[in-house]
């Protein structure tokens, strides 16, 4: 098994909830459980697993940023058309 230490958990005590932090904490906990039960797997497995987690986090970051961007875009009020509009009133 790889001898490198896992980085400490990020705190979820911040005022604002972060999907990115939540996903990162979940993946780290999953990795710790895999390391706890070695299963006799070679070092190459653990190296590939580490790379896969990095790629997965990068992909999930894109998903979160896209969802956030779409949410912000839908919250912006539509701007009224610029210029004047002639309205004919029936009397």
% of the chain beyond a pLDDT of 70:
75
DSSP 7: P
Alpha helix ranges (H) inside 1-91: 19-36, 43-75
CA distances to 7, 8, 43, 64 from 2, in Å: 14, 17, 6, 30
Phi (first) and psi of residue 14, to 5 degrees: -60, 160
- Tokens for 90? 């029936």
pTM of the prediction? Answer: 0.46
pLDDT in tens, 23-37: 888 888 887 887 787
Q: Is the CB of residue 31 less than 8 Å from the CB of residue 49? A: yes
């Amino acid at each position: 098994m790889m001898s490198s230490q896992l980085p400490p958990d990020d705190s979820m005590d911040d005022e604002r909830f972060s999907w990115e932090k939540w996903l990162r904490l979940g993946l780290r906990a999953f990795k710790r459980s895999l390391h706890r039960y070695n299963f006799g797997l070679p070092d190459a497995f653990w190296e590939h697993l580490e790379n896969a987690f990095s790629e997965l986090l990068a992909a999930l970051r894109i998903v979160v940023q896209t969802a956030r961007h779409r949410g912000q875009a839908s919250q912006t009020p539509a701007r009224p058309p610029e210029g004047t509009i002639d309205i004919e009133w029936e009397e």
